[in-house]
Structure 1
Amino acid sequence: MKTVQIVDPILGVRAFSVTIPATWVYDGTVLRPHFGTSMVLRTSSPDGLTGLQIFPKYNWLATSDPSMQRFYQNVDVRKMGPMKADEYLRKYVLPEIRSQATVVGPEPMPQFHRLAENDARQNAEFATQSQRNGRRAPHVMSDAARYRIQYDFNGHPEDESIVVLSSVTDIPEANGTTRLSEATATGARAPRGQLDGRLQMLTAIANSIKVDPEWVQKQTQFALQNAQAQQRAILSNADSWRRRNQAVFEASMKNTAAKEKARHDGAVATADHMGDVQGMVDPSTGETGKVSNQFNYSYVDENGNVVHTNSATYNPNAELRGNWTQLQPLKP
């Protein structure tokens, strides 16, 4: 036996290792679909007739929240409701990865009870967190299916057992729920009539997979940095619009004399120009504040976040979460 390492091509570090027979060949990588990461592995005997394969992870979603529907409108991810692992395996997995195979039928899943136990622990953690932050708790539910199929591989008849593990996470939104689904498929194959005798070895290979803790830490940091970079690219001002307009309101209340107000406005305009900011008003609320004057258009959402653009056709309501209102220049 030998232990081989699979390197994350983005981070350049070992992501996971697996122990396989000494003469077996292998390849693998780490993919990054829309949600999280996907470990991919293919290992087999030198003739390719006996082997184990972990296929790329599948993602899909559905949401009842109008703002999230707009957000995901241009995201290249399947939009469909949750489905049982059995249904997804037959409708999507088999047609895409084993389109020429003959389905023999379903097989038992003796480890299914572990999924329910893991779900119970995860949902208990969600409930505890929601009590701390006062928000509605997400909820996760897992499922599994296993099918035996048959096909020819380079002229050799093969048996393969494919297992799909799926999960649905319900995420409460402001005006509905987003249901994120994912599924991973693993196939164990051998020459026709020999699979049952080799399943124990193939299962041992799958169980030998070990994820590197250092990679988990680096991947977490990488994902966080990407999220922060994306947020910085979208939100040009980290201060809350609501806090700014409150300060401006309090300052304006002190300037009641028209003459003093005129001088004040002139001074503010000069300072704004030198500081690359300008006064703006939210037409939906009448609240005022200051934003960068380096852009032609500015929008604010219900949480006080501001996004700027020079495009007359850009509309953040079509791409971002929340409800966005275009700000109007504040007249002196």
Structure 2
Amino acid sequence: MTSSEFSMSHQQLPFPKNHLASYYSNNASLGTAPAEQTASVNRRDFIKLAGIAAAPVITSQFPFQSPVAAQSLTSSERELLLLAIDVANDAGAHYADARIIRSQFEAVSTREQTITQIQNTDSFGINLRALVGGSWGFAATQVLTRDSVAAMAREAVTMASANNSVAPSQTTMAPVDIFPDANWVTPHSVDPFLIAIEDKASLLLSINEEALRVNNVRYASSSILSVKEERMSATSEGSLINQTFLRISPAVNLTAISDDGRDFQTRSAVVEPAGRGYEYVMGLELTGNAGRWAEEAAMKLHAAPIEPGKWDLVLHPSNL
């Protein structure tokens, strides 16, 4: 449900400052930053960190620092949710639920002392699920006007009615509690989208630098992926629930090469993703552990091959 812009005939909804997708790669030369970006670009010699040789390209209007977090779901959007439910009920739905979802995704990736990728996207849309008889219908739109949302709700009911007429089925809704004004946020103390990209890149480069100090370790890559999803849901039973989900996934991959260049071994997946904030990354001591992980990669160069046979295998939960 990616959108480019919203045109609302009755009331203009707030437009997130970082709504447009941005993508950074190393496929072209680095362009000149707009004047308003100069302070951000120069801060902490970020261009130097990025590596002029690699020349990451910036294909969006956003400066290098982490974008302003997408605005929280508003009362106008709440009204659109309730409108969708009302229209679905009036169109004949026996049950309906609707949700507005805004998702942010950010990725910062490095290799050795070069920033290889910075990606930042923001998607937004509304959908509705309707039950007619025992059959379901679904529709979605990225255009947040009253007319568009109403049309979406009617489309979902029409689909459910058609499904029910072609292949009637029986659906029994489980009893649930009603939450007319509920809120839930992933437990966290530091929102990863409020941490500057420079800080994330600096951390990753320091991890790589520490790992490359170990003999035979020739390649080091690291990344931090962050996801934030704001979801407001409404049901025809009377629930209105606002949820914010955070996920963060740091990764480090180290490769050691033998002196004769005939063997290479990789140490990877040393850290796990978590449904937490940036405090999770801060508590992992990634730079402090990078040397040990690099030594383990080098140790694999001298490890004896496994002999064929039946063996007991012990798995850590992170391997499942």
- TM-score interval, normalised by the smaller of the two chains: under 0.3
TM-score, normalised relative to structure 2? 0.24
TM-score, normalised relative to structure 1? 0.23
Larger radius of gyration: 1
Normalized per residue, the structure richer in strand is 1
